[in-house]
Amino acid sequence: GAVVSQHPSWVICKSGTSVKIECRSLDFQATTMFWYRQFPKQSLMLMATSNEGSKATYEQGVEKDKFLINHASLTLSTLTVTSAHPEDSSFYICSAMRAYSGSSYEQYFGPGTRLTVT
Amino acid sequence: KNQVEQSPQSLIILEGKNCTLQCNYTVSPFSNLRWYKQDTGRGPVSLTIMTFSENTKSNGRYTATLDADTKQSSLHITASQLSDSASYICVVSGASGTYKYIFGTGTRLKVLA
């Protein structure tokens, strides 16, 4: 199968601190990973596209200096929420893209990380 | 604008009953349509994947249909179980080379005993 893990599964931090979330593809290499944010009772909202070895591409309205993304290897991408505020509290989900023969591809989603900023 | 709309927004059914969820999209050009199940506090899990040339795809008690002409899809759940309680998300991907997924608004299903 194609398994994607996230760590931690939940985290509580104080306002003003930074928190790092890891996303790993366990059994395949992913040159591209995605970071999503999900508010209660809403669908996933794409924050940024993480490309191995290059800068992430952020969606409109997402502050790149606040949400730092690093994709240093083919199996690991990290999202760091800097100077966290209570409004950053949310459910963060990553996905890793796996390419197949031809031009087909599939995103495999991690289990999510619940961030609560107090 | 590329959009994916789902209906109903929420649904409550009794265990053992069938239900059908709807998805309308305006994504063009269109490549694939996926249905995901997302349990509360978990990441989405794929149920079915269909290309524009496929009309139906089944996965156990889940059957998805696709009408690429009208840009509509449905997910039919047969003999519902309590464990089917979750959000169901319709996701459309555009033409080859565009890796982003366009997510639907989701349908929250609650199955009652």
pLDDT in tens, B43-75: 999 999 998 889 999 999 999 999 999 999 999
- Taking only the tens place, the pLDDT of each residue in A67-110 is 999 998 999 999 999 999 999 999 999 999 998 877 778 899 99
- A37-41, A112-116, B5-9: lowest mean pLDDT where? A37-41
Which regions in chain B score pLDDT beneath 50? none
pLDDT of residue B96: 59
Shortest Cα distance, chain A CAs vs residue B85, angstroms: 14
Question: Which chain B positions have a beta carbon within 8 Å of A93's beta carbon?
Answer: 43-44
Question: Inter-chain contact B43–A112, Cβ cutoff 8 Å?
Answer: yes
Q: Do B44 and A109 touch (CB under 8 A)?
A: yes
Give the C-alpha separation, B12 to A110, whole Å.
27
- Would you give the DSSP letter of residue A87? G
Nearest CA in chain B to A102: B96
Is B76 buried (19+), middle (13-18) or exposed (0-12) by CB count in 10 A?
Answer: middle
Pairing of strands A10-13, B30-38: unpaired
Under 8 Å between Cβ of B80 and B20: no
